[in-house]
Amino acid sequence: MSTNDPDRDWFAPPPSQPTQPPQPTPPPQGAPPPQGAPSDRGTPPQGPQRPQPPLAPARPRRGQRQPFSPGAPPPRPRRGTAPFPDQQVWPPPQSRSVSTATQPIPVIPSAGPLPPSTPPPPPPAEDAPPSVPTPPPAAAAAAVRPRRRRGRTLLLGVGAVVVFTLGMGLPTADRYLFYKSGQPSETVHVVPVGQQVTYEHVTWLAVIKPTPPPAGTTHTTPDKQWLKITVTRKAADETGTLLTGRPELTVRDKSQRTWQVEIVEDNLPTDKHEVHRAYDYSALAVVPKAVAGEVELHLEPNITYRSDTPTEKLLQVTPEDEEKAARNDVLIFRR
């Protein structure tokens, strides 16, 4: 066959090339082994040999197409490849539109009018700088929320402080009212400098002078000043001769700091006083030198004790005594 034969199958091998290589024919069983076999070298003869399976056809070389035979099975696909299913390649399939649906679309019941949409933010003004973007409404709302929370936290803190103050202040106020019920406010009687005053049947006079520390005392330093206070009393009438109770003395500066005054001696008689006769109390006090020239004497006279009161009635309190004690009278001698 020439190479220009139009009836030649170009995918089949030429007639001169065999389709399969010749296979060797096995020798029949019981036949003597060929020369050069192991039996010729003195080896014992072996038992009957099993028939060998037929040899597989030789694979074609790489690049050479396997010849087609009518009874041969179809060639196996390559590993890793899957056969493509039948599908339309041309023309491309047309997608089915919604209008060609064969079933009606169910009607969705109306749930009312749609909520109003949020209007878009207004465009920025022409005179505003373009570099400052206008925050969206969500960002503005998020920026406002911390302020509300901060204000709520502040209100809670103020409320806690108020509750704590009331809880601590109410008992304190109650104790103060109870204290004031037994310790009423002072009824002040001011005495001008160098003058005397008559109060509750007794005339009082006070003189304050600096004095050196007493001999042998250790309660003194360069920043302290000792004061000698002389208080003179006179009975203005017969009732005054019976009011012989000892007064309470203190000294105070302008800022109401108080120092105690100690009476060290007096010349009062043990029996009834005489009318218009002077009797003295000698007292000492220690104050800072910075206020030694401004402290004033505060004198609280005893206007309830009477020297003629029987012993069995000393502890009795009359309504008149309660009224006098409620006044809490104080005589202040100016300097």
Residue with the larger pLDDT of the pair 266 and 94: 266
pLDDT for the residue numbered 38: 46
pLDDT tens digits, one per residue of 219-232: 788 999 999 999 99
Lowest mean pLDDT among 8-22, 51-65, 194-208: 51-65
- Is the model's pLDDT at 140 over the cut of 70? no
- The SS3 call for residue 329 is strand
pTM of the model: 0.47
Which residues make beta-bridge pairs with 258? 252
Contact indicator for 242, 306 with CB cutoff of 8 Å: yes
Q: Tokens for 130?
A: 């373009």
DSSP string covering 24-75, please? PPPPPTTPPPPTTSGGGGTPPPP-PPPPPPPPPPPPPPTT-PPPP-TTSPPP
- In the DSSP assignment, the letter for residue 110 is P
Query: What does the block give as tokens for 327?
Result: 């006044």
What are phi and psi for residue 249, nearest 5 degrees? -120, 140
Report the C-alpha gap between 259 and 257 in whole angstroms: 7
Write down how long the chain is: 335
Which residues are CB-neighbours of 271 under 8 A, at least 6 positions away?
307
Q: What is the 3-class SS of 241-274, one letter each residue?
A: CCCCCCCEEEEECCCCCEEECEEEEECCCCCCCC
Q: How far apart are CA 283 and CA 248, in angstroms?
A: 11
- Cα gap 235→243, rounded to integer Å: 8
pLDDT of residue 234: 95
Neighbouring CB atoms inside 10 A of 331's CB total 19
Q: Which segment of 11-15, 74-78, 236-240 scores lowest on mean pLDDT?
A: 74-78
Mean pLDDT of the residues in the chain = 74
Give, as one character, the DSSP assignment of residue 88. Answer: -
Question: Both tokens of residue 30?
Answer: 């019981």
